[in-house]
Amino acid sequence: MKIEAVLLHRIRMELITPFATSYGAYTDRETILVQVIDENGISGWGECVAFATPWYTEETVLGAWHVLEQFLIPSLLKEQIQHPRQLPQLWQAVKRHAMAKAGLEMAVWDLYAKLQKKPLYQLIGGIRDEIQVGVAIGLQPTIEQYYEWIDQYIAQGYARIKVKIKPGQDVSLIAALREKYPQLPLMADANSAYTLKDIDHLRQLDRYQLMMIEQPLAADDIIDHAELQHSMSTPICLDESILQAEDVRKAVQLGSCQIINVKLGRVGGWNEALRIHELCVEKKVPLWCGGMLESGIGRAHNMALATLVGFTIPGDISASSRYWQRDIIAPEVTVNQGKVALSKLPGIGVEVDTDYVSALTLNKLEITTDS
């Protein structure tokens, strides 16, 4: 591979409806698209999923931009690599900054797959060409609004519904949803809104046959999650706690969870995600792919990830139209009977609408081998 230029596009996209979590609500999504270009003008695309504010992890859009511009991109252009497996070694001196690394890794993996003339999902050993998908609903002001969204998503065929919960909007919410939808594959995501003091309160959720409760406690607390999991029957899924394969090893050993959510951005990209997948298959821990309100580029990478054998639970990979009036890729991601089909074209298999990307761009930077 001879990468001659890397472009960063910071864009802002309006969400169709605000997305609320236990930390607050978003009305638009700022994100960085990463484009690597080789000597023949072939582009690979990735997406840095950091948010504008550091609510999910410590990373932010502008912080990631700085790390990409000053450290990750210069070392990639200076060293050059033969295979994207070499990237973690190249960036050893850059600690953490998982989302910045993941955005650039994704672009290099996409380019590499295109050069091999293979769909990315086949290159990484994916075993299915369509995946079952679920949808996430942010916190809503009234129960009727949940019913409205859920009815709509069931009609669209989604295979699993996830709702966000927080103190004051949890047990009674789940009870009401379970009463109205006794058979619905349902799960709840707390985004670390609780502590072990809430153990008796959270145990009340055991009555409602949830598929899982996602990240009830703090991101850096694998030990307390073990205590909680040992005292409740609802499976715990870890999201924010899992930054690398090593975290999976510890969580599984302690019994902190029964399920893992993988996000390429949170774990630093494809290389670490593949390691986590390998370990979870070995330990028989089911996986699913989480979502970060991605544009079509991040979404296409997530779809490839979810084709791996260990991803047995529908992920948060909804249709483009779940979030955007218009996506930046063609064709857009569509859901048919709860499934999304993978493109057979090389790389992530979608065309990036560069005119629309330009229209959404807040700022752009090009770094070349000569600069």
Q: Which residues bind Mg ion (CB under 5 A)?
A: 189, 214, 239
Residue 105 near residue 311, CB atoms below 8 Å: no
To the nearest whole angstrom, how small is the minimum distance from the Cβ of residue 166 to Mg ion? 12
Joined together, the tokens standing for residue 97 give 């900054």
Catalytic residue among 2, 263, 283, 344: 263
Closer residue to Mg ion in complex, CB, 59/189: 189
Closer residue to Mg ion in complex, CB, 10/162: 162
To the nearest whole angstrom, how small is the minimum distance from the Cβ of residue 189 to Mg ion? 4
Residue 155 near residue 180, CB atoms below 8 Å: no
Q: Distance of alpha carbon 255 from its chain centroid, rounded?
A: 24
To the query of whether residue 197 is one of the catalytic residues in this protein, the response is: no
To the nearest whole angstrom, how small is the minimum distance from the Cβ of residue 329 to Mg ion? 24
Joined together, the tokens standing for residue 238 give 């870890």
DSSP category for residue 333: P
Closer residue to Mg ion in complex, CB, 30/189: 189
To the nearest whole angstrom, how small is the minimum distance from the Cβ of residue 211 to Mg ion? 13
Joined together, the tokens standing for residue 315 give 């992920």
Catalytic residue among 164, 339, 344, 364: 164
How many Å apart are CA 193 and CA 107, to the nearest integer?
Answer: 33
Element (H, E) at 320: helix 320-323
How many Å apart are CA 283 and CA 248, to the nearest integer?
Answer: 10
To the nearest whole angstrom, how small is the minimum distance from the Cβ of residue 164 to Mg ion? 8
Residue 257 near residue 235, CB atoms below 8 Å: yes
Taking CB positions, which residue lies at the least distance from Mg ion?
239
To the query of whether residue 263 is one of the catalytic residues in this protein, the response is: yes
Closer residue to Mg ion in complex, CB, 170/214: 214
3-state class of 164 per DSSP? strand
Closer residue to Mg ion in complex, CB, 104/262: 262
Nearest to 316 by CA among 19, 96, 54, 33: 19
Which residues are known catalytic residues?
A: 164, 263
